Amino acid sequence: MFKFLSGVFVGWTAARILPPPPSDRMPWQPPTVSELRILAQHVARSLDAVKEFVEEDEDDQRAD
């Protein structure tokens, strides 16, 4: 069940990030290189944000 829910979450998030496809494109085509680049940029930004959060949390715990 977890695999299904995580797949739904990832797919939904990717669909919301990407701009709408042109009207002449079939709806079930695989993603283009530019769409994959957009997704990769968002993943990189998200990972950077998580990394900063974890580092700040570690610094806060050391200060205590």
pLDDT of residue 59: 78
Query: Rounded to two decimals, what is the model's pTM?
Result: 0.66
The answer to whether position 39 is within a domain reads yes
Domain hosting residue 59, numbered range: 31-64
Residue 63, pLDDT > 80, answer no
Nearest of 22, 18, 46, 10 to residue 34 by alpha carbon: 18
Instruction: Classify residue 45: in a domain, yes or no.
Output: yes
pLDDT score at 64: 63
Counting the structural domains of the chain, the total is 1
**12: in domain:** no
Please report whether residue 52 resides in a domain: yes
**Selection from 38, 1, 32, 33 nearest residue 16 by Cα:** 38
Residues 12-53: tens digit of each pLDDT: 888 888 888 778 877 778 888 998 999 999 999 999 999 999
Q: How far from chain centre, in Å, is Cα 8?
A: 12
Residue entry with tokens 């200060």: 63
Sign of the CA dihedral with 29 first, then 35, 37, and 41 last:
negative
